[in-house]
Amino acid sequence: MYVASMRKSFKDSLKVLEADIQHANTLFKVGSLIQRIRNRRQHVWKGSEEDDEEHRQQTDVDIEREQECGICMEMNTKIVLPNCNHAMCLKCYRDWRSRSQSCPFCRDSLKRVNSGDLWVTVVVSLQLWTATLLHDAGWLKILATAYFFGSFLNHNLFLAIHELSHNLAFSTPVYNRWLGIFANLPIGVPMSVTFQKYHLEHHRFQGVDGIDMDIPSSVEGHLVTNVVTKSVWVIFQLFFYALRPLFLNPKPPGYWEFINLFIQIALDVTMVYFWGWKSFAYLILSTFVGGGMHPMAGHFISEHYVFKPDQETYSYYGPLNFLTWHVGYHNEHHDFPRIPGSKLHKVKEIAPEYYEGLESYKSWSQVIYMYIMDWTVGPYSRMKRKVQRLQEI
């Protein structure tokens, strides 16, 4: 009983922590950014005396339709609090009211300084500048620079896009989308908008075949079975990662994906026109080698490939977290996807008993080596889930 109570208290503490972090993610401006619909109390709460009591405590509550809740990320009807204009869905509102009377978004204890946009700008500028310097370099120099320098920058930008897919840089989602398209530029291939579409499904339906595109296909599982094929798979894993959704769960492109495509093509054409194919090749090589047999790419394997039978997700606590937006804190990230990477270490500090007992890694390079050499581990080394009503998803 005592242990269960401790775990519950730790989990409650983490929920409060997550709510604290939402300040930068859930500010909604009055006027042009949102349309608020005033409703009388009886139109807001219906059906239960408990809801009526909650409503009596809250005056002039606003309602928004089909906006993403800052806490649970679901597209639900939201309540806008009248005093501060912060918003959350009805379910999260009820959960919050059961714990606190103060707005969770107004607390100062863990407000985040938003420097992500500045860092992305620096990395994008540095990588594009490096590409221009290599316009007349030899191919060996280009390849070496791509592996030992450019790969770190492009993989950093890929994981910046991961952060932005959770709307962790700006309170307004469209700003995160624009910054993601900007971060996409040195990668050479448009992927920012599409990545968000599939990645959020990975969080909501982790381990579900046909929905979670992080799960390798049956073809990969049957072919990648020994040291040689696993080595080839690791080298080309970005291609599998990118092409898998097109075959297993294709989605029609939307308006923002065309914007992403046109802006990326414009940058690529400009690079080739003014600085030549070698500069463009450097960008593509930086993306390719950085996602293959490279220390930074070890997180693709370490996150969910099962090396310990009873554990689904693994964290990495090593120095490369500083270059990868702390994506190594992966158990913490999946528990609280709306907490930015720079704050995930605080989750572990608040509830060490909840995470320190789990298997974790200190080297991504070692994870790649273990994956290739261990004959018991392969693409099928994943935990899978089933959903009862797949047609309703």
The string of pLDDT tens digits covering residues 184-199 is 999 999 999 999 999 9
CA dihedral sign, ordered 241, 243, 245, 247? negative
What proportion of the chain, given as a percentage, has pLDDT over 90? 59
Report residue 126 as tokens: 């540095």
Report residue 121 as tokens: 């700008």
Angle at 192 between CA 15 and CA 232, to 5 degrees: 100
DSSP state at residue 30:
B
pLDDT tens for 38-87 read 333 333 334 444 444 444 444 333 434 445 565 555 655 656 665 555 66
Structure confidence at residue 35 (pLDDT): 36
Structure confidence at residue 337 (pLDDT): 87
Query: Do 177 and 164 meet the contact criterion of CB atoms below 8 Å apart?
Result: yes
Mean pLDDT, range 26-42, rounded to an integer: 35
Q: Flag whether pLDDT at 34 surpasses 50.
A: no
pTM of the model: 0.74
Gap between the Cα atoms of 167 and 177, Å rounded: 8
**Concatenated DSSP letters of 34-58:** B--EE--HHHHS-S-HHHHHHHHHS
Gap between the Cα atoms of 150 and 21, Å rounded: 32
Gap between the Cα atoms of 89 and 60, Å rounded: 16
| Of 75-79, 145-149, 232-236, 377-381, the least confident | 75-79
Long-range contact set of residues 374-380: C-beta below 8 Å, sequence gap at least 24 = 374/307, 375/226, 377/305, 377/306, 377/307, 378/221, 378/224, 378/225, 378/230, 379/216, 379/220, 379/221, 379/224, 379/233, 380/216, 380/221
Gap between the Cα atoms of 158 and 172, Å rounded: 21
More reliable by pLDDT, 22 or 188: 188
Taking the CB of residue 255, how many other CB atoms lie within 10 A of it? 8
Gap between the Cα atoms of 76 and 90, Å rounded: 8
Gap between the Cα atoms of 268 and 142, Å rounded: 17
User: Domain boundaries in the chain?
Assistant: 26-106, 116-392
Taking the CB of residue 217, how many other CB atoms lie within 10 A of it? 16
Structure confidence at residue 146 (pLDDT): 98
Q: Flag whether pLDDT at 3 surpasses 50.
A: no
